[in-house]
Each structure stands twice: as structure tokens, then as C-alpha cells.
A and B are shown apart, each in its own frame.
Chain A
Amino acid sequence: MGKVIEIDGLVKRYKELVALDHFNLEIEEGEIFGLLGPNGSGKSTTISCILGLLKYDKGEVKVFGKPMEASSYESKKDIGVVLQNVAVFDELNVEENIDYFCGLYITDKKLRKQYVDEAIEFAGLEEFRKFVPKKLSGGLLRRLNIACGIAHKPKLIFMDEPTVAVDPQSRNKILEGIVELNKKGATIIYTSHYMEEVEQICSRIAIMDQGKNLAIGTKEQLKDMIKTGETIQAEILNLSDDIMEEVKSLPHVYKVEYIDNHLKVHYTKGQRNLVRLIDFFKNKDVQFGRVYSELPTLNDVFLEITGKELRD
């Protein structure tokens, strides 16, 4: 598998604001690669630079092994773009919109007709072929936006927050579709600030903030990078300070909080933490209700790396 995208030392400034700060990235063929970061972290700027739309101050961008320029028409033929804002013509119906955008890549009419039909089927828009965009719901509109970006069967697809403002049913449909496209051979660059989506579908993830690539790897690798191995919560009424202090001294515990009758124990990586804690409660005759363990999420990863919540 070769490298589909190589970014080396990319710097992009908007006057005083540094949108991309010596950003590096390599994406392998066949990946669903997630760019995760809060709004304004530089995800869309990165995509615009890769697509050759945006001038940048420094660095190098290669796509399919070749430097990417605005005039890299050969490379562009194999790229599909699903933008954050729905990019369709309000004046054309569903079928015409897909045909129009597919026609920018595929000149053969017969082949294009086949591709358009397949894209309509893929997006589940068969019943809405003759609908103009304003007659579609938000979810259907997003699906149309995706269909317009992938109808020409690109090898590399950029999906910039394709599920923003979409109902859960449509969101699931969209995510399933992305996985399906990947199974058919497309490399997908997926940006989102919804960590659950990225965690669900992406094989590798880069965490971005303030134009920097803070961490990169599989979700397991990212979670391994942080101190938190596990967080155990327990419902306990009237926990004494003495017990709190004793919990802190248990193996692997690095932080203990007690808020609204909930004890929250943060562990570094280690084993048998839950069993050990329950045994401790029994031994100390602590009355407890529900007890549950949570593994770290990407939000925890982000929180630890940046010191702020992903959705700030």
C-alpha cells in the first residue's frame, strides 16, 4: 500500500492567525483516516490545501505521490469532495445535480448515466430523483451532497464534517455508506468534531488543535498515549474523607473526585481495579449502589493532550 497523501511542514497564515503550524501528515491507501479537532482547529484548511484550492505559506503537499497544485487535473480526476456546506445547485433536481457534478469528471454519457444511478442508489435517493434540494430534509440533503461528491467513483474522498446537523437515522446511513465506499477501495479522509463518529469508522486518527497535529495513530494507540487507563464510578451516600484518602492510596489510582454522591476514581493503566475497589468497599463496610467502569474515550485523549474539551 502506497502513500496517498504526504504533507510536510505545512504552514498557512490568515494575517496574524496561524491556521496550520508546520503540519505533517501521511495517509496510506485504503485507510479511513479521521481528522479530529474542535471547530477552528484547521481541519477544513488542511483539506483545502490538499485539494490545491488554498494558497499556503510554506511546506509541501503531495497527492498520489505528485505535488498537488490547482492545475493537477490528472490527480483531481481521482478525488471526490464532500464539503462541510452542502454544495449543490438549488435550481437542479437530485438527478441533475449528481449528473452535473459527475459530468465534471466523466465525459462518457453512458458510463455517467450508470454512475449517477449507482450514486442515487448508494445514497438511498431513488424516491427523490426529481426533487429539488429545498424539498429535501436535512438528512436527505446531506446524502445528496455525498452522492454528488462520490458519483464518479474516486479513489480518494474528502469528507469534511458530512454529518453536521443530520438526524441520527441519516447519520447512521451516512456512516455505513462511508465504510462501504472504503470496502470498495476508496481511501477516505474524514473530518469531524464528533469523536464518536471518528472512533466508529476511522482506522487511524489525527488529533488537531490550533493548526497542529497533536497525536496520530489508531484509536487504541491514541488511548495508550494518555495516563488514564480506566475511570470507575460508584454511587455512594455520605462518603467520609477518611475513606476518600484510603481510596487514593489504592494501586494505580491517580485522582479521586466525589461529586453529587458519585465517587469517581481515575486509574492509570492496570488490571483488576474494579474487583479491588469493590473488595475495598466491602471491607470498609461502605454502602454503594451502581458501580461501573469506563474506558477512556477520544475526548479523554483530547482533554489530556490539549487541556480542554473537544467540543469547546
Chain B
Amino acid sequence: MFWHLYKYRLKVLFNEKMLFFWTGIFPIILGTLFYMVFSDITEKSENVSSINVVISTENSDAIVEEIVKSDNSFASFIDSMISEGYFDVDYADYATAKEMLADEKSDGMLLVEPTEKGVASSLVFSKSGMNQTILKYIINTYNQGMMVAEDTAMNAPDRLEAVLAEIYNNENINKNISVTVGDMDPYNQYYFALFAMTCMFGASFGMVNTAHSQADQSSVGMRRAASPTKKMAMVISEYFAAVTITEILFVVLLVYLTAVLGINLGNKYGLILFASVMASLLGVAIGYFFGVVVKGKQAFKDGVMMATILFLNFLAGLMMGNMKYIIEKSCPIVNRINPAAIISDCFYSICVYNDMNLYTRCIVSMGIWTVILAVCSISILRREKYANL
């Protein structure tokens, strides 16, 4: 009976074309777009002449050069950009810097402010163009590298030295105009976000399964409920079918990114795959949970679930890189319990931190979440009588 149900559930889910598109094709399209955008920026930035940058400060009375020098890592970064010929730097007061920007004597204004942790920097442009794009890319890359370092300090302090060494590795900066940590290009975070998204979107397959399992949700559910096959047998076989499909789509994405696009995601594929299986189990369980807990029509259920998933992804920084860092500083518990954050952390732990403790913690967290959601869902799903049909 298991194989009969499993086989046909695979067929049904494989033919859910809309779901297949969003869970399977859409991440591939996004991955391709990321690849094109990032490689385009990298290639162009390698052939560009120096970018005129005016460094200034808006709120501090201190001398600009002194502010920069107060943060060794930031000063080293600026120096390396100058020595490698990427930046042509002027220091100026705010009014002068604004004037230079307006007169297009400078491509961008880098505002620096002293903080407890060093220097906080932000960019001001008067127009957009290739130099501005590259400047933004370089500063963002630096900031993200520093965030990774801070993250590492919090989550894997024993790796901090190695990470910092990589951040200051000029060879990598020269090559990619980016701060590279271990095997990870900072832009790889977007590919990890795609991984997390694919696994989370497995929820849609779980949702379809619940609709087909409940007599009050579909006529197919009603026919199945009238059959002598036990609900548990149906739920379990179809749950694993949904996980299988999510996992297949994940592997397709992984192969596409690494083998076709040639993106370097490290070499720990065993750990990545195991993490993806756990993430798929969690993703599908989320779909089951929303399918049975949310009351209403299918479109409403889908809407509530997708909105929640997108919100969790937002909190996990999968849409805005800084968000997870902001939450880590203000309310770290959210990152510990947010399934999207747990999934993305798990992938980071393999490819960024190389931290098996964090990896294990994430795997256990995913397992706990999966069990909680699955138990809740099954306890509701296994009921076989309904008040309304």
C-alpha cells in the first residue's frame, strides 16, 4: 500500500505544474539571474579605471582621516583599495564633499561615522552608473565580510582568526573585488537563500497533500476518506513523496548552480544534501501544518502560508542581507526558532563557518520543528469524521 500511494502521489505532485514552476524552475531562473548580475559586475569591475571617492563625515566633529584610521580594518581596506588602483580617494568636509559630488568630481561620497565597534560607512551618490555600481558593490562586500566576521565571532569564535585572515586576503580582493571567506563568495549567500527557499517551498507540496487528504477540502479527499485505507498510511506515504520531490528539485538546483554555472559552493556535498533533506522534511511539514490549521478555502490557506513563509524568509535575511544581523543583535531568539533562519544557518555553517557544532544544532532544530509540526498536523489529519462536508 505504501508504494502504491507513494508512486501515485509522486505522479500527482510532479504534474502540479504551477507548484513545480515555483519550487523547481523559479529558483533556477533566479540563480541564473544572480549569476549573470554578479559575474557581470565582477568582470566589469576588473577592467575599470580608478573610482573617485570622496570620504567625509556628516555628524562627527572629528577629522575624517582620523575617523578612518580609528578602525584598523577599515583603514586597511581603504588603503588596499587605493594601492590596488580601485579607488582614488579624497578626504573632505561634508560641504566640500557634497560639492565635489554635485560637480561630478567624485563618483561617490563615502560617509563615515565613528561607532563603538569601529567605523560605520554609508554611500551617497548623485547619479547612477558603472562606477557607482562597482563602488557600492565593493563597500557592500566589505560590510558583508565584516558582518560574517561578527557572526563568526558570535557563533564560531574558534574560526574567527581564519575568517579574518580570509577577509584581509588581498589576493582574493584583487581577483574578485570582493571579500572572500573560505570557499564562500559573499554573493553565495544569495544561492544559499535559494536553497532555503526551495526547501521552504516544499510546503506547497505539503499543502496540496492535505487538500487531497481531507473530506471537507476536496471531493478526492472525500472519496479517499470513504475507502478502507487508513489515514495514517496515506499521510505518511504522501508526506515522503512530497519530501522526495522537494529533494529532487533541490538536487537539480544544486547541480545546475555548481555543474552548469560553475559556482563554487565548497565541496561538502554530503553535508549539504543531508541538510537539504532535513530542510525538505521541515518545509513539507510546514505545508501540512498550514493545510490543517488554517481554516477556509484553499486559496486563502495558500495565501496565509506563503505570506508567513515570505515573512520568515525576510526575518532570516533572505531578502535583505542585514535583517538577520539586525535581529541577531536585537532579539537573537527569533533567529534560533525561525525555520528559515535555521535552514539558512545550516547551509552557512557548512560553507562559511565550517562549524559542525552549529551544523548539528541546526539539524537538531530542524528535526524538532519537523516533529512538532508533523505531530500537530497528523493529530488533526487523522480524524475521519467531519462536522461539515
- Using a CB–CB cutoff of 8 Å, the interface residues on chain A facing chain B are 14, 44, 48, 51-55, 70-71, 73-74, 76-77, 79, 81, 83, 85-92, 96, 100-101, 103-105, 107, 148-149
Contacts and interface: CB of A to CB of B under 8 A. Distances in A.
Interface string B1-43: 1001100100111111000000000000000000000000000
B385 A55 contact: yes
Given A53-B215, A71-B384, A100 B228 contact: no
Q: Which size bracket describes the interface of B in this complex?
A: 20 to 34
Q: Closest 4 CB pairs between A and B?
A: A70-B384, A91-B15, A87-B219, A104-B227
A160 to B, nearest CB: 10
Given A81-B226, A87-B219, A89-B12, A107 B385 contact: no
A107 B1 contact: yes
A48 B16 contact: no
Contacts of B222: 48, 53, 81, 83, 87
Interface of B: 1, 4-5, 8, 11-16, 212, 215, 218-220, 222-230, 384-389
Contact of A53 (B8, B16, B218, B384): B384
A77 to B, nearest CB: 5
12 contacts: A14-B388, A48-B389, A52-B226, A53-B225, A54-B385, A54-B386, A54-B388, A79-B226, A86-B219, A91-B15, A92-B15, A96-B8
Contacts of A96: 8, 11
Given A53-B215, A87-B220, A92-B12, A76 B227 contact: yes
B226 A53 contact: yes
Given A48-B222, A54-B389, A55-B385, 5 more contacts: A73-B228, A79-B226, A83-B222, A101-B227, A103-B4
A88 B220 contact: yes
Contacts of A76: 226-228
B219 A91 contact: no
Contacts of A52: 226, 384-385
A306 B15 CA distance: 49
Contact of A81 (B8, B15, B223, B388): B223
Contacts of A55: 385-387
Nearest to B389: A48
Contacts of B212: 89
Contacts of B223: 81, 83, 87, 101, 148-149
Contacts of B12: 89, 91-92
A152 B389 CA distance: 25
A76 B228 CA distance: 5
A53 B8 CA distance: 24
